[in-house]
Structure 1
Amino acid sequence: MARVLELNSLDALEAYRFVWHRLWEETRRADFFLTYEWFATYWRHFGHGKAMRVLLVESEGEIVGILPLVMIGRPTSLGRIRTLTYPLDDWGRFYGPIGGRPAATLLSALRHVADSPRDWDMIDLRWVDVRRTDGLRTPAAMRQVGMPPIAQPWMEYPVIETDGGWDALQRTRPAERRREMERQLRRLRERHNVRFVRHRPGGRGRQDADPRWDLFNACAAIAEKSRQGRQESGTTLAHPATRDFLRDLHASAAQLGCLDVNVLFLDDQPAAYAYNYVHQGRVIGLRMGYDPDHRADSPGTALMRLMVEDSCRRGDAELDLGPGSSRSKDDWAAQVAVSHRYTYYSESFRGRLLRLRRWWSDRFSPRDAAVARRSA
């Protein structure tokens, strides 16, 4: 019989840091967003006003899985909705149970949630990777514990498959666009001293954990000069809250071998950047930008071209470019990864109202259009 231990503070969770790391290494298609370091840093920066509910599943005296959940209050026209969800907030692409036994972890953890006092209005498990990892385990577990979910696609992400090599990838792109990109890069090299820097430390296990703060600062400087510096959104690298959050994660990502920073220099001045995380050859794009003073040189397009070729040469499996569309992304992405959302509403009066509103929205709002808006 499995036993579930619920932890509600970072101090309590710290004792299981190494257990979390062991289970992360057992997780299929794990990435940096599933690490203890990500969760702890996220909680220190954004945990105010939230409640932690990290569920550890124990079987035969051993922790076999972790399901990290947080309770947040989401403002709606019906008031503040108490929502039990994953701690991702659209920073990453996918989330789910940690460890090599995801089905057992989901079932035991969600049964614990179902049997505990219901201090929530809805369970909202977003960012589920149905096709490649979950395999419909999440909805099956929710139904089995008496919480049948409503399912919907959540977001789409353009993906470049790079494991076939550079030449093979080139052949999949339109010939005229390939020639145009090569002409752009050639003209750029005629006008400037072009230097592409990619920093991907191997991690502390390989005595290679230099964070290269100079490159992080270069990325932040470009973001500040670009249109990101004029946006009020708190999600751009130019925003102080985001910059401080990613700065605190930067060294941890380097120590785990999950850091991938790309900077294009023109005449020794940073002109474009792509700030990524990487694990087991899967690259996840987090933030990109370019210096508007070099707009005529198309530095973002040149950086993408050099980064994709380098990923192919390194033997990376895939390059996830993140939500949204741009010319530099559209030039390369041939696949689209889709995350899904599974929602269960409580039987309270507010829960019933939420379910009715959701039914109305799904009935009269095309799902494809809603996914496109969230992914833009």
Structure 2
Amino acid sequence: MSDVIELNEIDALTAYRSDWQRLLRVTPGGTFFRSLEWLQVYWKHFAEDQTLRVLVVRDGEQVTGIVPLCVRRIKSKFGLCRILTFPFDDWGSFYGPVSADLTKTLCTALDYIQHSRRDWDLLDLRCVDSTGFECGATEQALKSMNVSFETLMWCQTAYVDLKQNWEQYLGSRSTRARKTYLCSEKRVQQEGNVKYLRYRPAGAAAGESDPRWDLYDQCEEIARQSWQGRSTTGTTLSHASVAPFIRDVHERAVQAGAVDLNMLFVAGRPAAFNYNYVYNGLVYSLRMGFDPGVSVKGAGCVLMGRMIQDSMLRGDRILDIGPGSLKAKQNWYTSVENSYRYVHYSATSVTAKLMQLSHQFADWYRDRFSNEAVDVRKVTESSKLSATSR
């Protein structure tokens, strides 16, 4: 018989660290973003206007799943709206529970949510890898527990399949893509000695926990010198609003063995970086950039190619180049993967009912008067917390 323990204080999660680590290792598609280390740092920096609701699922005395949730308050045209969602804010491509059996864990969590305090208007599960590693677990659980829901497209991300050799991969690229890469290699090498460095410490448990702040600072400086230094989106390594957060995560990620820092040096000077997280052969490209004042055109391209080739040799499985900007990534990716959003409206919330009616009218109006076929939409919000709008 499964039961649920709800935790509302971030410090209370420490008692479940070993269970969290054990379950993450067997979670389909598990990444560093689902780790306790990442959540603790995220909560330290972004807990304002959020209430933590982490559900620990047990079968007897054995912890079998953990569902990190939070209640977030956002503004809507109908007033303040409270959403029960993942504490994630789109920092990566996908998120979800930590468990070997995602469907069973979600069923138990949904049953608990239905019978516990109703401090939310919408149940809003975002960044769900429905058609990938998750294999439809969220949808199966919602249907199994008779929870009404809408399925919406949320975002798209670019994957590189690393389970092949470099020659196969390069041969599968378009003629233009191959030419661009090979010309970039030749052009950059004409500037002087080219050195590729990859720093991937195994973590504190393996005696490798040096954060190599010298390398990280070089990444930050490159970002500052590039267009990213002038960016106002608040998403870059050097941006004042998120730099302290990413630095704190870096230190914890090193200890967890999840940092994958790539640098390209041209004539002895740092020219380009690609800063990633890695877990179980899944590499996520968090940020990348090149210094136009140091390198000739193509340094970023050369770094990406060498990094992909090295990942194949290491036995990595997938490189997730990240959501958005698909056109700029088209030379590299082998597939485009969708993330989805599952929305359930609380039957006891006036705000939720008004939002649902508004969305139903919008759908009717679109179907009645639009000649364009639209299969998915996003629920309108006047405020969306995300890594791309922060």
Give the TM-score taking structure 1 as reference length. Answer: 0.93
Amino acid corresponding to residue 81 of structure 1 in structure 2: C
CA shift for structure 1 position 271: 1.8
3-state SS of 1:195 partner: strand
CA shift for structure 1 position 359: 2.8
3-state SS of 1:321 partner: strand
* Alpha-carbon distance between aligned partners in 2 of 1:298 and 1:80, rounded to the nearest angstrom: 48
Give the corresponding residue for 1:250. 250
The structure showing larger relative contact order (alpha-carbon pairs under 8 Å, at least 6 residues apart) is 2
Contact preservation (8 Å) 1:323, 1:375: no
Q: Deviations over 1:303-357 (max 9, x none)?
A: 1121112112222211110012267622111201111110001122211111123
3-state SS of 1:135 partner: coil
Q: Deviations over 1:230-267 (max 9, x none)?
A: 12222221212321111111122122221111111222
CA pair 193-45 structure 1, distance change in 2 beyond 3 A = same
3-state SS of 2:132 partner: helix
3-state SS of 2:272 partner: strand
Contact preservation (8 Å) 2:160, 2:332: yes
Give the corresponding residue for 1:289. 289
CA shift for structure 1 position 362: 4.6
Amino acid corresponding to residue 60 of structure 1 in structure 2: G
3-state SS of 2:163 partner: coil
Give the corresponding residue for 1:39. 39
Give the corresponding residue for 1:354. 355
Structure 1 residues 210-221: aligned runs within 5 Å: 210-221=210-221
* Alpha-carbon distance between aligned partners in 1 of 2:60 and 2:37, rounded to the nearest angstrom: 27
CA pair 180-231 structure 1, distance change in 2 beyond 3 A = closer
3-state SS of 2:265 partner: strand
* Alpha-carbon distance between aligned partners in 1 of 2:278 and 2:342, rounded to the nearest angstrom: 27
Consecutive aligned runs of 4 or more in structure 1 exceeding 6 Å deviation: 368-371
Give the corresponding residue for 1:232. 232
Give the corresponding residue for 2:383. none
Structure 2, gaps ≥5 residues long? 367-371, 380-385
Matched length: 374
Give the corresponding residue for 2:334. 334
Contact preservation (8 Å) 2:269, 2:294: no
Give the corresponding residue for 1:78. 78
Contact preservation (8 Å) 2:4, 2:55: yes
Structure ranking higher in helix proportion: 1
Amino acid corresponding to residue 335 of structure 1 in structure 2: S
Contact preservation (8 Å) 1:155, 1:339: yes
Amino acid corresponding to residue 290 of structure 2 in structure 1: Y
Q: Deviations over 1:56-108 (max 9, x none)?
A: 11111211111010110122222221000011100011111112122221011
Give the corresponding residue for 1:280. 280
Contact preservation (8 Å) 1:301, 1:328: no
Structure 1 residues 280-319: aligned runs within 5 Å: 280-294=280-294, 296-319=296-319
* Alpha-carbon distance between aligned partners in 1 of 2:11 and 2:244, rounded to the nearest angstrom: 22
* Alpha-carbon distance between aligned partners in 2 of 1:333 and 1:65, rounded to the nearest angstrom: 32
* Alpha-carbon distance between aligned partners in 1 of 2:243 and 2:165, rounded to the nearest angstrom: 34
CA shift for structure 1 position 208: 2.2
CA pair 163-20 structure 1, distance change in 2 beyond 3 A = same
Amino acid corresponding to residue 319 of structure 1 in structure 2: L
Give the corresponding residue for 2:100. 100
Give the corresponding residue for 2:184. 184
Give the corresponding residue for 1:53. 53
Amino acid corresponding to residue 163 of structure 1 in structure 2: K
Contact preservation (8 Å) 1:73, 1:80: yes
286-295 or 211-220, which deviates more: 286-295
Contact preservation (8 Å) 1:2, 1:57: yes
* Alpha-carbon distance between aligned partners in 2 of 1:65 and 1:336, rounded to the nearest angstrom: 29
Give the % identical residues: 38
CA shift for structure 1 position 279: 1.2
